[in-house]
Amino acid sequence: MIYRPKMTFKCRIVQRTASAVDWLYTKPTFVLLHDAGGNEKDILDRVHPFLGAHFTVVSIRGPVHLGKSRYAWFDPMATQDNQLPLSTVRQVHDEVYEFMATDCFSNDEGRKSIWIYAEGQAAVLGLYNYVASHGTADCILTVGARYPENLRQSSAWPRRNKVPKLYLAYGLRDEAVPVEEGRALHHWLSNYQSDIHYSEHDMGHTPNHDCLTSIRKFHSQLFPGSPGSSISSIWIP
């Protein structure tokens, strides 16, 4: 699959109060990446209630249009036999992070802390950032992640001072990405990095309340006493 030279991303940004500018430019950024067939609004509505008020929440829409309100990160023709060309993953990843390198993700003191939450197909982008990048994100949380064998074979783990925190969650009843794949991926990643949080839940491919609560507890350990928030949503084309 050959992508056009420049993708167009759309997103929704959740703000806490009327002091939108202060909120947007000072808080850590929590980026939501939906699964194939989803969209930025659905994942925002489902996940945001489980996040505290310590974050600016940005939900990005995948660039590939599959149908009414359905989007993906990769063209279906590029994902045959659960494999993805490295060049395709790198291009989509780099353009997502170029999009993130806007004023919404930085302030006068430099880049803000970035957390990534990715489901299903989008989890490839989070894991590629973890495995092959130079630590763009500070924490990566995935649900139903699959990292194709061809990408593992081409992985070159960079030397870096700071390794992102990694959270992997899988459903015991997931038919799209069986939990056995998750266990194997966890084992492979553990060969390179030991500080990985892994969890399994009684759910299918879509994260349930228990899974999202576990994620909330995970980030609450890093942001203790996280309060609730009064929110509104703005659209950025």
Segment 22-51 mean pLDDT: 80
Q: What is the largest CA-CA distance in the chain?
A: 48
pLDDT at 60 over 80: yes
Domains in the chain: boundaries: 10-236
* pLDDT per residue as tens digits for the range 84-109: 888 888 888 888 877 776 645 554 45
Range from 10-14, 31-35, 46-50, 187-191 carrying the lowest mean pLDDT: 10-14
* pLDDT per residue as tens digits for the range 67-80: 998 999 988 776 66
Q: How far is CA 124 from CA 20, 33, 42, 118, in A?
A: 32, 10, 19, 8
Alpha carbon 211 to its chain's center: 15
Segment 29-54 mean pLDDT: 85
Of residues 16 and 7, more confidently modeled:
7
Segment 52-56 mean pLDDT: 68
- By the 10 Å C-beta count (0-12 exposed, 13-18 middle, 19+ buried), 182 is classed as buried
Distance (Å, whole) CA 192 – CA 195: 10
pLDDT at 122 over 80: yes
Alpha carbon 97 to its chain's center: 11
pLDDT at 135 over 70: no
Classify domain 10-236 by CATH architecture: 3-Layer(aba) Sandwich (3.40)
Distance (Å, whole) CA 221 – CA 167: 13
pLDDT band for position 33 (50/70/90)?
Answer: very high
